[in-house]
Amino acid sequence: MHRILAAATVVILMIGTAACTQRDDKQTAAAPTRVTVGVIPIIDVAPIYLGKKKGFFASRGIDLVLSPEQGGAAIVEGVLGGKYQFGFSNVTSLMAAQAGGAPLKAVAAGVSSNGRPGRDFSAIVVADNSPIRSARELGGKSVAVNTLKNLGDTTVRQSVRRAGGRAGNLRFQAMPFPDMPGALQRGQVDAAWVVEPTLSAVLTQGGRVLASNFVDTAPDLTVALYFTSQGTITAKSTLVGGFTEAIRESLRYAASHPGEVRDVVGTYTQINDTVRIAMILPTWPEDINRPSIERVAALGQMDGIFTKPPALDQLLP
């Protein structure tokens, strides 16, 4: 009898231990992975904020943390340095880093121009009292951009070229997008390259659009991409796959819910209701427009931004 009881006790303990182990395994499997993404607080990244809000990342086991930066170059450095697992950056920053040997890989489209001259989400603007009436007149003038030697330089120069002006002697001045409306009003700069919601902030203050620089650069320009490091792709392929799926779902959702886009932008930028309602929306296609990126690459080489031609086959998915 004692032997039977002892054996039964052992069996019960084994079953209990196995059950606890199964519960622990389930808890471990269910524990979300904390993922930090570098973003720029502009309308471009509205989909990822919506995706977090709607649970698209959580449903794939991702605890998403969004960290604002001033520009794409800083986000590239953050991904390469391990500060961020993923990042959002314009195509020029990514191509410049890749051409310099950085092991980066895009995983999904980010944002695209809507292709409408005068009504795109990006524009070159001047103050209401500015004597400048055309991008052709920007030669020798100061132009605010968020970062130097980047997408702003290239696309602004292209608008000046298309208008028949001299693009080689523009004087670019770096500053955060939210500071640009005030800088224009104070006469600190002659013009500024802005994207939404800063564009609507300028326009509601009486500013004027000189040119739609993205439209002038390439049809349906793919402006930015979500990306990671080659090391992350190799070591964490399941995570990369889940993140990519969540981003693509977020892009689809944003494209079909413009009202929610306007609402969510107000949660990570300081804008009033007038600006929120007036914002011109970009497009968020899931597919990357490679010819448009090739165009930006060619212009960047002409402007001396790239040390050597970017290898797009290595950078793009």
Judge if 32-114+220-315 and 122-217 fold alike in CATH terms. yes
Residue-wise pLDDT tens digits, 8-53: 444 333 444 444 444 444 434 568 999 999 999 999 999 999 999 9
Domain boundaries along the sequence of the chain: 32-114+220-315, 122-217
Pure H helices in 221-272: 230-235, 237-256, 258-268
Residue 308: the pLDDT is 86
Residue 30: the pLDDT is 62
Q: Are 207 and 275 in contact (CB under 8 A)?
A: no
Q: Which residues contact 228 (CB under 8 A, 6 or more apart)?
A: 79, 85, 86, 87, 104, 105, 107, 240, 243
What are the φ and ψ backbone dihedral angles of 112, each rounded to 5 degrees?
-135, 155
Report, as an integer, the average pLDDT of 296-308.
91
Burial class of residue 94 in the structure, from the number of CB atoms within 10 Å of its CB (0-12 exposed, 13-18 middle, 19+ buried): buried
More confidently predicted of 78 and 9: 78
Is the model's pLDDT at 99 over the cut of 70?
yes
Residue 234: the pLDDT is 96
pTM: 0.87
Residue count (the chain) = 317
Q: Which CATH architecture has domain 32-114+220-315?
A: 3-Layer(aba) Sandwich (3.40)
Residue-wise pLDDT tens digits, 158-211: 999 999 999 999 999 999 999 999 999 999 999 999 999 999 999 999 999 999
Residue 53: the pLDDT is 98
Structure tokens at 59: 């449903």
CATH class of this structure's domain 122-217: alpha beta
Residue 206: the pLDDT is 95
**Residue 283 DSSP symbol:** B
